[in-house]
Structure 1
């Protein structure tokens, strides 16, 4: 609700942000996290990033279910 009569709280002219490719952003972020100096091979970096994603997913699931 708006304080001003006749106006909505969210204007219809508000532009939405362009959608981002969150999957590719998270992949590159994970790969940078496991190899900040860029010393690993691309295969090793991708493997470690996948392990990090799996660990994060497991931690999120265990918090949700109350395990561990």
Structure 2
């Protein structure tokens, strides 16, 4: 703990980590394959469902990162 109010005690040798690249990029094509693996849907329907799945995925990731549970 730091003696100065409002300051965190950190060592001089501590450096922040560089931003890491995503292991699996969240591309729309990946979600299109997930919602329609057999290519039975029309392209418009497949794109719409992929967008919905992407939004759900982003929302769930946000909740995990910020510790918010869904009530």
Q: TM-score range by the shorter chain?
A: 0.5 to 0.7
Q: Give the structure with the larger helix fraction.
A: 1
Aligned to 1:37: 38
Normalising by structure 1, report the TM-score. 0.61
CA distance in 2, matches of 1:50, 1:27: 7
Q: Structure 1: where are the runs of 5+ without partners?
A: 1-21
Normalising by structure 2, report the TM-score. 0.59
Q: Compute the RMSD of aligned alpha carbons.
A: 1.3
